[in-house]
Chain A
Amino acid sequence: MFKNYFLTAWRHLLKNRLFTAINIIGLSIGLMSCVLILLFVQDELSYDRIWEDSERLYQVNTTYNYPGSPANTTSRVTGRMKEAMRLYFKDDIEAATRLNSMNSTVRIGGSAFKEAIQFVDAEFTELFQLDVINGDMSVALSNTSNIAINASFATKYFGNINPIGQTLEVAVYDLNRVYTVAAVFEDLPHNTTLSFQALALIDESAFLSAPWEFDGWDSANGWLYFKLRSDSDEVKVSSQLKDFINSNVVIPSYVSTDKNAQPTDFWNYSFQKLVDVQLNAISNDDQMKELGALTKVVSFSIVAMLILAVACVNFVNLATAKSTKRAREIAIRKVLGAQRGQLIRQYLGESLLLVGIALLIGLVLVELLLPFFSSFLNKHLTLELANPMTLLQLVAFVLVIGLLAGAYPALALSNVVPATVLKANKSAGQGQSVLLRQVLVVFQFAISIGLIVATGVIYAQTQYSITKDVGYNTTNLLSVRNFGTAQAAAHQQAIRDRVQRLPGVTSVAVTSSRPAGGGRNSRALQLPGQSINGLSLAVQAVDHEFLETFDIPLIAGRSFDRARSTDGTPRAEGAKPGEVLQGTVMINEKAVTRLGFGTPDQALGKAIRIVIAMVAEQEVYADLSVIGVVKDTVYHRPRNEGWGEAYYLEPNYPMGGLTIRYAGERTELVEGVRGIWQNLIPTVPFQYEFVEDVIQQAFSAEKQLAILFVVFSLLAIIVACMGLYGLAAFTAEQRTKEIGVRKVLGASVYDIVRLLVWQFSKPVLLACLLAWPVAIFAMLNWLETFPYRIDTWILFPICLGAGAIATLISWGTVGGNAAKVARANPVRALRYE
């Protein structure tokens, strides 16, 4: 019996080559997309599940809630949190560790390198288990002169020598220490949100000159993870967080002097399961690596299912269209005694066979494409066919899709009434399945149109983000890293002056932070004569060449002037306690609004008051009057909105950015700067980036999304087109007689083509009406996630365009068949009736 089913199915597939090809190619593409996307989704869901008891690990976040500015959440916390939490939650927290990466320089054999060293607590190993290849992690984290390095670090610096016992020098802030390698561990797998090359025990006493790293409550510079005890729970700890904060955190006077203020008025801590961080982080800011996004996982899963749905629709459409032919076979089987159940099983088996073949081809495609897909996503995805879980999933795929696609044709076909079909040349009534096919074709077009709209919007938004005006001229700007390191600090002026003299250099600016370098420093301030608590603006310390180098337009007033010695923040040396000194400052447009200064012109001459020093435990103030208002820029984080910012010309402010505007060759410039750098500070690694590249880079996730969306949408559309082509071929064949009659009665080729093309244009129009609202709704929601977004009206031309593309596609696929049939000699068409 089975052999007979199989033979019929097999020969049927071979005989109807066009339909078989359409079905198998469509289903293969659908299954391939599904498997690829499934691998991607599984990988995204696997993040940080490699750790023991991963469900009990948490990351702590800080939320700054200064009055007047929007709440700002970061994934980092102050260094004091760890001990405070361990003490307060001693019954709930089993272990906790900080990870602090402070931009360390590693020196080995006279050369300097940048490596991601994380300073951690000894409890690190209780939370995170590394695969130790050599040495012992507990030894490595037992004292402050040992270090653990990963395998690539070991190979890079020590080659074939046993790295255990080798030494290297680490420099960061005032720390300058020789470390001994005590452990080597395997490189971290890619599916963790942690990132480091080396680990060393935190030595707080070495960082007294950088109190923001481990001291104080207002600066968040390190990460904190803790492991909850198995007998405690998240809700309990959460409910006590507020009390914890208020009983531990001290409000610095520059944030508020209000005695009744609660620390929770200004900042809050929250925590999140580590396994949720990759896809659903409370804060994407300041994580160790770029995270994934749930929206991406969801949208790709949807696209994969849509492609598969389109392929299933092809199957249903072609199977029911062909059912006239199949009906005779069924009728005979029924006459010979087949029960309906047997027939249903036979036809479901047939669709399962087809899906099975498609799966095999799909898997071959997956194997071929996986390396590209994987490297495109920066992942190491593998398809483990030997894994029983994977096999089970694949079998489930075949069953679900086979049943989904085969159910209707099987039910419809098995319902055939033999007496009607077997009468000489009569065909089975098709009323119901014709309607179904029309509905499904509309559905396919709706999916295609929806995907075209989504692709268009994603593309437009990505283009918009990348080319968005950041407020300054990003081309021909070179930014040098490590300018703020302790070793470079003494040579900043010399480096700047020599770079300025290089041929091709137009202008050089030294600033406190690098363009597109992330981070955000705020400074609390007051308005003289007013008492407003918690007012603050972002800080940017600049030099006289700042506006010129970055090409930032002045809206009102003037820039800092070398000729005026009173410009900038005054020096606090020799000031008396409580004294108020005078100086000048520039602010941007957003700051004008924030401070309530009215128009930019009205802001000129108004003053802000800052604390510049403490003398005898009393503040020394500076009243800085606004001399210039500059255009808003998106300086720090290209993906965010800009914020209110003040530009200080301030002696002794730590400067971290060296930015060079140049004209001419990139490489020549880089070599020139490198020469100066290595001459003056050979112990600091020379690292640089071009600002426009960094900004492009910041949108790589969106670009990736856009490209993948284009590819998968295209696949869906191709599969839909193939199905439509098959259906059109069938319709044309079926209507041969009608067309013959029409031609005999005088219809021209043009009339006939128009008839058929119009028949296939109607579903497109209907599909537009279905797809547009859904696509517009979904894409508006997606756009909401961007602080900067394209104007909403752009969706309308995109929708119309998608409709036009779909119409053209339908004409293209149908037109050829229509023309062929229309041109045929009517006598041939009519002879066989």
Chain B
Amino acid sequence: MLQLNNLSKIYRTSEVETTALDNVNIEISTGEFAAIMGPSGCGKSTLLNIIGMLDTPSSGEYLFMGENIAGYSEALLSNIRKRNIGFIFQSFNLIDELTVSENIELALLYHDIPVSERRDRVETVMDKVGIAHRAGHMPSQLSGGQQQRVAVARAVVGDQAMILADEPTGNLDSSHGQEVMEMLQALNEEGTTIVMVTHSPSHADFARRTINLFDGQVVAENIRAA
């Protein structure tokens, strides 16, 4: 699916230079479920942003489906991203002014998909994550777990091959967290590649592979036997 070769990210301000990622080499193959772990400030989110093409590396190679996209323009990246990658955030990041179904539909708006097909897909995915009965509600009327389910639905409604989840359970209580993790596991079993940043070792256990980062470097990798 993707391959990072000697990838580094350095943030510069006028006074300080911070190395967020230092020569990272990671390969994630299609269908994998990988968890990225590490203490605060170790570069987890930066890594996820670069994988998600929301940020660009300072040096190194990023091969996405065989293509080195390290120097691509924002418009090109945006095109690749919208067809292949879905996002789930810790704080859900739903748009407050849109209803549940409208929020999910948003992910299809920037693709050229006819209205009727959009509706069908939104309904299908709402059934799948069990939020159909809340279709017309505003995000503020939902519990955190429900909001995150909407976010999951939004991430997969465009048939994305990969989901990037940034602490998807960080704002949820344990039972809701468990629910979301099970949903991700189910998606993975259907073939979706998932890369997840998490603090929770128990949630990391859902992944088959754990990558540990420390000070911008990969310090350990565990692959759990199937």
Interface residues of A, Cβ cutoff 8 Å to B: 1, 4, 7-8, 11-12, 15, 328-329, 331-340, 342, 417-419, 422-425
Contacts and interface: CB of A to CB of B under 8 A. Distances in A.
B106 A333 contact: yes
A330 to B, nearest CB: 10
B110 A7 contact: no
B106 A336 contact: yes
Nearest to B103: A332
B90 interface: yes
Query: Which has the most chain B C-beta neighbours within 10 Å: A12, A417, A418?
Result: A418
B188 interface: no
A332 B82 contact: no
A1 B82 CA distance: 16
A332 B97 contact: no
Given A419-B54, A424-B91, A336 B107 contact: yes
B54 A336 contact: no
B97 A336 contact: no
Contacts of A332: 93-95, 106
A339 B97 contact: no
A1 B109 contact: yes
28 contacts: A4-B106, A7-B97, A7-B102, A8-B98, A12-B97, A15-B97, A328-B93, A329-B95, A331-B93, A333-B106, A335-B52, A335-B87, A336-B82, A336-B106, A337-B79, A337-B82, A337-B107, A338-B78, A339-B78, A339-B110, A340-B74, A342-B110, A419-B49, A419-B54, A422-B89, A424-B90, A424-B91, A425-B91
Secondary structure class of chain A's binding surface, majority of residues: helix
A334 B78 contact: yes
Nearest to A334: B78
A339 B106 CA distance: 13
A428 B199 CA distance: 25
| Interface residue tally on B, bucketed by range | 20 to 34
A334 B90 CA distance: 18
A428 to B, nearest CB: 14
A342 B166 CA distance: 26
B61 interface: no
Nearest to B49: A419
Contacts of A337: 78-79, 81-83, 107, 110-111
A335 B105 contact: no
B20 to A, nearest CB: 11
Given A4-B98, A335-B87, A337-B79, A422 B93 contact: yes
Contacts of B54: 335, 417-419, 422
Contacts of A423: 45
B96 interface: yes
A333 B109 CA distance: 9
Given A338-B110, A339-B78, A425-B91, A8 B97 contact: yes
Contacts, number: 70
Interface in B69-120: 74-75, 78-79, 81-83, 87, 89-91, 93-98, 102, 105-107, 109-111
Contacts of B97: 7-8, 11-12, 15, 329
B89 to A, nearest CB: 6
Given A12-B97, A15-B97, A419-B55, A4 B105 contact: yes
B113 to A, nearest CB: 10
Contacts of A334: 78
A459 B105 CA distance: 60
A469 B86 CA distance: 83
Contacts of A333: 106, 110
A424 B95 CA distance: 15
Given A4-B98, A339-B75, 9 more contacts: A4-B106, A329-B96, A331-B93, A336-B82, A336-B107, A338-B78, A418-B54, A422-B93, A424-B170
Contacts of B49: 419
Contacts of A329: 95-97
B95 A335 contact: no
A660 to B, nearest CB: 76
A1 B118 CA distance: 11
Contacts of A339: 75, 78, 110
Contacts of A4: 98, 102, 105-106, 109
B119 to A, nearest CB: 12
Contacts of A8: 95, 97-98
A335 B45 contact: no
B82 to A, nearest CB: 3
B104 to A, nearest CB: 10
Contacts of B98: 4, 7-8, 11
Contacts of B83: 337
A335 B79 CA distance: 10
A422 B92 CA distance: 9
Nearest to B99: A7
Contacts of B109: 1, 4, 336
A261 B37 CA distance: 108
A342 B111 CA distance: 12
Nearest to A1: B109
Interface string B150-172: 00001000000000001000100
Interface string B111-150: 1000000000000000000000000000000000000000
Contacts of A328: 93, 95
Nearest to B171: A424
Interface in B26-70: 45, 49, 52, 54-55
A799 to B, nearest CB: 42
Contacts of A418: 54
A422 to B, nearest CB: 6
Contacts of B94: 332
Query: Which has the most chain B C-beta neighbours within 10 Å: A15, A333, A419?
Result: A419
Contacts of A15: 96-97
A71 B2 CA distance: 91
Nearest to A16: B97
Contacts of B93: 328, 331-332, 422
B62 to A, nearest CB: 15
Query: Which has the most chain B C-beta neighbours within 10 Å: A332, A417, A418?
Result: A332
A340 B78 CA distance: 10
Interface string B184-205: 0000000000000000000000
B140 to A, nearest CB: 10
B96 A336 contact: no
B112 to A, nearest CB: 10
A336 B110 contact: yes
A340 B110 CA distance: 12
Nearest to A335: B87
